[in-house]
Amino acid sequence: MKGSPTFKHLLSPGRIGGLEMRNRIVMSPMGSNLAEADGHIGERITRYYEARARGGVGLIIVGVGAIAYPVAACIPNQVAISNDVFLPGLRTLTERVHAHGAKIAIQLQHAGKVATQDMAVGRPVWVPSVPTLTAGDLLNDLTQEEAQGVVGYLMKPGAALRFHEMGAADIRTVIAMFADAANRARRAGFDGVEIHAAHGYLIAEFLSPATNHRCDEYGGSLENRARLMVEVIRAVRQRVGADFPVWCRLDAKEFRIANGISVEDAQRAAELAAAAGADAMHVSAYADPTSGVAFTDAPLVDAPCGYVALAEGIKRRVNIPIIAVGRIEPDEADAIIAGGKADFVAMARKLLADPELPNKLREGRAADVRPCVYSYTCVSNIFVSKPSACAVNPASGREAEYEITPAAQPKRVLIVGGGPAGMEAARVAALRGHRVTLCEQHDQLGGTLRFAALTHEPNAQLLAYLQMQVQKLPIEIRLRQAVTAAFVEQLEPDVILVATGGRRRLPALPGADRANVLSSDQLCSGGTELLRSLGKRVVVIGGSIVGIQIAALLSARGHEVSVIDEGKTLAVEMALPRRWRVLHTLRERGVRLLTESRAEAISDAGVDFTTNGDRQTVPADSVILVARMEEDHRLAEALSTRSGAVHLIGDCRRVGYLEGALTDAVRVARIV
């Protein structure tokens, strides 16, 4: 991690209204699906937030607190703040967070047209104007099961979709709900509230000319469209008093939405919010909700520092603190604050990956921060109504289940395989006090993560992190070491963890032995020198995550790439938002994605394939055969008769790629 080793600006104390924070790192609010099914705060979500408080964050903003719950809720396990019955759990949460020196606020939200839980039971969905429903590409690159899950998230089976255009009495009701929820938050011990006026929810729908077609005092001009936001801020302020911090989350822009919120609209809305009494502005963005790739424009930005310029533009127009968000690395955050572009930086995914990030920065251990690899697993789960999870941190949202504790009896642990599962298992076992030997048959650690690092740069950061951790801990690392029965007998381990990866099977095709044909494994191990030897036109046979990563890598290097796959959906192993982004990028580069197609043979002319019985040929100078991954129990079975218990972890047990490998590693290493 580059930049100042002290992060003095990011780690300096900050203030919003009368609220003082120990640093300027904010845990961004996000729906987690970790609350109880009835909206109550339970132990699971409490531990989730408590872990980030213990990790040193300055301010936690609890995501999407439903002010009208169960009405106007958008996810099944959403935090509710609509009734005093929820106060005990909310108080427990604030007390547990405060015990670690962090401050905590809650985001107040009415989902408006995104109120899926209203749709589920046929309740009318409250909106400023009845929307015009349009079909987008959201479901295009999903499996049938995924599509059913997303549709189920957006619209429950059997529910009749009904919209209710809000009248004056409805608006007064909503304003009162926000004020009541804010007062409830104060009584529960929260240090402030964030009014959600972004991301396509109710207040944002009033703000956006794309969804607000009203002709009364709440429609038309920007001042009219912002009236609900202004009246909510004033009502909340009147209810909680001048000394209780209140701020807004605002869309600085709506991407890919015709007649959506413009930059100028957002800047003027921020001025109106500040004049109404907002103590700060949390600057985000939104995009077309019917488009998959648009979701990675906003609100879950794929571009590094994607909204910083937008935040800076609003900061120039208001005299209140600005919270910037959007894939900001700590060194960039420090520079943003130093340069006066924002006053605080919000992080969500990074704090899921490593709750201890703030403490590690403060202790001068930036290199020990477990990096987010931007796989989008955290949000992908929400799309199909599952609890949020993290691809690189299995304990996120499962803090009790994956807590690492000292071993009651230290053991001699042999780990076979130095890929991500093996390295993570070695790290956890060593932290617990075991004597660990990590064996890798090749001359370097990394396994398949090395190829993943070649095709997706954040994976290179994870590889470096894992390598550093096993090298710093008292772990005996043996490279170029094959593990045999004789070796095991000599070492006499108490426990053996086999993490040798899956078995790879190449498609059997006529012409596969030609000189211009390579396997994905050969490409992975050959590095940049082998990449340079490839011809201009490359055909990739196999559209798994590996094949699509290869296509992305080669198309970025200027090759003309075609991908042939028998399935209807490509890269099914990728989390939804990342898949949407990667496949969109490939199409923009002109990559031919030939789905529901079978490769038949490789010849001088290229690759012969059939689609719906029609035989065609795609020209190829080079051909990459992508191996199909299968579980592989052979080594574990061979060692099971030797001393010590034998456990399989990672792809050799069950193909689960990076997330499966790391989850397996922690699951087993924490109990051996």
Q: For residues 271 and 335, give the distance between their C-alpha atoms in angstroms, rounded to a whole number.
A: 25
From CA 649, how far away is CA 668, in angstroms rounded? 8
Percent helix, strand and coil across the chain, each rounded to 5?
Answer: 35, 20, 45
How far is CA 342 from its chain centroid? 23
CA–CA distance from 434 to each of 89, 208, 476, 671 (Å)? 38, 58, 11, 11
Structure-token pair, residue 610: 């059939």
β pairing state of 495-498 and 25-27: unpaired
Structure tokens given for 102: 């962090």
Token look-up 């951790």 returns 469
Max CA-CA distance within the chain? 84
User: Is the four-CA dihedral 127, 129, 134, 136 of positive or negative sign?
Assistant: negative
What does residue 600 show for φ and ψ, rounded to 5 degrees? -110, -40
Report d(CA 246, CA 443) in Å as an integer: 56
Regarding beta strands 537-541 and 622-625, do their DSSP bridges make them parallel or antiparallel, or are they unpaired? parallel
Q: Is 201 a catalytic residue?
A: yes
Task: Give dist(CA 217, CA 228) in Å, integer.
Answer: 10
Catalytic residue among 201, 286, 374, 657: 201
Distance CA 468, CA 367 (A): 8
What does DSSP say about strands 517-519 and 503-505: parallel, antiparallel, or unpaired?
unpaired
Please, is 538 exposed, middle or buried when counting C-beta atoms within 10 Å of its C-beta (0-12, 13-18, 19+)?
A: buried
Amino acid type, 382: I
CA atoms within 13 A on the CB side of 401: 15
| DSSP code for 288 | -
Q: Are the CB atoms for 210 and 191 separated by under 8 Å?
A: no
- Work out the angle at residue 152's Cα, subtended by the Cα atoms of residues 150 and 155, and round it to the nearest 5 degrees: 105
Residue 45: count other Cβ atoms within 10 Å of its Cβ: 23
As given in the structure block, the two tokens for residue 620 are 């190829």
Angle at 299 between CA 297 and CA 301, to 5 degrees: 45
Q: How many CB atoms lie within 10 A of CB 388?
A: 23
DSSP 455-476: HSHHHHHHHHHHHHHHHHSSEE
Collapsing DSSP to helix, strand or coil, 422 comes out as: helix
Indicate which residues carry an active-site annotation. 201
